[in-house]
Amino acid sequence: MRKILIANRGEIAVRIIRACHELGLETVAVYSEADGDALHVRLADEAAAIGPPNPQDSYLNIGRLVDAARTHGADAVHPGYGFLAESPAFASAVQEAGLVFIGPPAEVIAKLGNKVEARRAMADAGIPVVPGHDEVDATDAALIAAARRLGLPLMIKAAGGGGGRGMRLVDRQEDLPSALAAARREALAAFGSADLFLERYLPEVRHIEVQVLADREGTIATLGERECSVQRRHQKLIEEAPSPFATPRLRAALSEAATVAARAARYVNAGSVEFLVEPSGQFYFLEVNTRLQVEHTVTEWTTGIDLVKSQFRIAAGNRLAAGPVDLRGHAIECRVYAEDPSRGYAPSPGPVLALVEPGGPGIRVDSGLRAGWDVPTAYDPLLAKVVAGDHTRADAIARMVNALRHYVILGCGTNLRFLQDVLGHDAFRRGDTTTRFLERHFADWRPDPPTLALAAAACIEAVNAHSGGAAPGTWGGSPATPARYDPWDHLDHWRLGKRRE
């Protein structure tokens, strides 16, 4: 392989580009009309326009991506995560074009991407699965009858994919018909399949996953577990490695189950086997993510293994080293989103007026941000990931809190304040987290009054106007959104020209 097309955007495209350059590989970025001036486009050796902002016409358009790879002479394609990363059709198209797909074979993606087939395969391999109903092409009538047998509450899930899409929690029998209809619509839109299945709802569980690497010769390595229980809308927000709950016995059992799962699927490349774990330590297979995970960073910290480089080496036919992997210290990742946790995590895109990223020992920032860029509205609001590692969990938490305090993103709204409050909660610091953690402790969260942010915005505006940049009343050269407050009426310690003691 000489040149790699990265079929993605944002922070993961930047991450892959940097890994490619370290390996001496040339890179081709792709971009929609909304991303023409994005950081990943600036960092790549070459870039290809692939269409309008709508993902269906750009990042999800298989034909345009394959054409871009051919036009630019790429040898391989890395899908990143999200978009087409778990699309067997995309993997097949890349392979049929004579290119290397940096991921598992298309047939493996197809088998594990169907949650019903994956459940059955794991059950056949002897791995516990959550009790449920996974009849192929189940009708609403069949699912309602199964719900009566299973009992409520239960989860409706999409057979064609995960990530919280097509998922509904139902605790009343009369709500089933409407929940099934809504789940089918969402599943069809997200995965192209309206097939559903049912699982018993486990109210107090942890979400723990095991990172797997597998080469073409059948060697399988497990790289420890990650805890991903702090979630909003069934999507992860804070991840850490190792799990504060896992004992050596549970860790070994999860690792063995992940190895069995990978072997049963004839897995190749990087992937994650995910489990739900009850307070008793009983665990159940959840799914296999056939791609690089967002939270791969914490595993890289605790193992010292670069997972993206490992993906390229496996794709090139290299063998994995035999023997156990040594784990070290503790690492935590926080996902920084352009969203408002006080309004149901509503997206809050906008211009990046000023950007200061944290640094120092044990701090890593994977980001697609740059000052002066407008965060698009068409895509997932993930802006960046902050990773903090140290010898102990307590030290890693302290390091992360300090990093978030020094992370400045002005212009678009972010969840930085919310993340600090979550990390500071006593239950989180004890490691007492389940998938209902945010629901239990932060359902009514509200931020402190944003007086300092408003003051900073006013200062930026004044400096721009004074230096001949943007005129007063504009931020970054575009009309400003009317403020809810006059910032000069809400300052605590500062006045123009001098500090008030």
Dist CA 183 CA 140 (whole Å):
11
Same domain, 93 and 170: no
Res. 321 pLDDT band, cuts 50 70 90:
confident
Q: Would you say residue 360 lies in a domain?
A: yes
Q: Band the pLDDT of 161: cuts 50, 70, 90.
A: confident
Q: Is 165 inside any structural domain?
A: yes
Is residue 295 domain-shared with residue 241, that is, in the same domain? yes
Q: Average of pLDDT values for 208-225? A: 97
- CATH assignment at residue 383: 3.30.470.20
Same domain for 62 and 155, yes or no, is no
Same domain membership, residue 189 and residue 145: yes
pLDDT of 314 strictly over 90: yes
Q: Quick check: 451 pLDDT over 60?
A: no
Q: What are 255-283's pLDDT values in tens digits?
A: 999 999 999 999 999 999 999 999 999 99
pLDDT of residue 289 exceeding 60: yes
Asked whether residue 137 falls in the same domain as residue 172, the answer is yes
pLDDT band at 464 (very low <50, low <70, confident <90, very high): low
Q: Would you place residue 56 in the very low, low, confident or very high pLDDT band (cuts 50, 70, 90)?
A: very high
Q: Which domain holds residue 478?
A: 451-499
Per-residue pLDDT band at 455 (split at 50, 70, 90): low
Can you give the CATH number for the domain in which 182 is found? 3.30.1490.20
Q: Is 223 a domain residue?
A: yes
How high is the pLDDT of residue 165?
84
The model carries a pTM of: 0.87
Count structural domains, the chain.
5
With bands split at pLDDT 50, 70 and 90, how would you rate the model's confidence at 471?
Answer: very low
The residue ranking higher by pLDDT, 101 or 114, is 101
Report CA 65 to chain centroid distance, whole Å. Answer: 22
311 assigned to some structural domain: yes
Residue-by-residue DSSP string for 40-87: HHHHSSEEEE---SSGGGTTT-HHHHHHHHHHTT-SEEE--SSTTTT-
- Say if 270 falls within a structural domain: yes
Element (H, E) at 100: strand 100-101
Residue 467 has pLDDT above 80, yes or no: no
Token pair recorded at residue 353? 């007026």
User: Which one of 284, 304, 328 terminates a domain?
Assistant: 328
Rounded Cα distance, 114 and 350, in Å = 36
Orientation angle between helical segments 106-113 and 115-124, nearest 10 degrees: 90
Last residue of a domain, one of 328, 362, 392: 328
Average pLDDT over residues 84-90: 96
Q: How much is the pLDDT for 22? A: 98
CATH of the domain at 17: 3.40.50.20
Q: What is the pLDDT of residue 481?
A: 36
| Inter-CA distances, 362 with 21, 181, 290, 400, Å | 23, 47, 29, 9
Paired tokens of 481:
């959104």
CB 274, CB 244: distance < 8 Å: no
Say whether both 97 and 215 belong to one domain.
no
Q: Are residues 321 and 371 in the same domain?
A: no
Task: For residue 443, tell me if it sits in a domain.
Answer: no
Q: Is residue 446 part of a domain?
A: no
The pLDDT assigned to 322 comes to: 74
Let me know whether 194 and 209 are in one domain: no
Read off the pLDDT of each residue in 203-207 and give the average, rounded to a whole number.
94
The backbone region for 323, taken as left when phi is positive above 0, alpha when psi lies in -120 to 50, beta otherwise, is: left
Based on the domain organization, do 85 and 136 belong to the same domain? no
Helices (H), 74-175: 88-96, 106-113, 115-124, 140-150
Residue that has been written with the tokens 């504009």 in this structure: 474
Write down the mean pLDDT value for the chain. Answer: 90
Which of 166-180, 288-302, 451-465 is the least confident region? 451-465
Locus of tokens 């004839």: 266
137 with 256, same domain: the answer is no
Confidence of residue 137 (pLDDT cuts 50, 70, 90): confident
Q: Which of 183, 200, 217 is the last residue of a domain?
A: 200
The whole-number average pLDDT for the span 420-430 is 98
Distances from the Cα of 486 to the Cαs of 109, 450, 453, 491, in angstroms?
Answer: 54, 12, 12, 10
Q: Give CA–CA dist 236/256, Å, rounded.
A: 24
Residues 124 and 143 in one domain: no
Q: Does a structural domain hold residue 444? A: no
Residue 466 is predicted with a pLDDT of 41
pLDDT at 303 over 90: yes
pLDDT at 478: 33
Q: Do 252 and 120 share a structural domain?
A: yes
Rg of the Cα trace of the chain?
A: 23
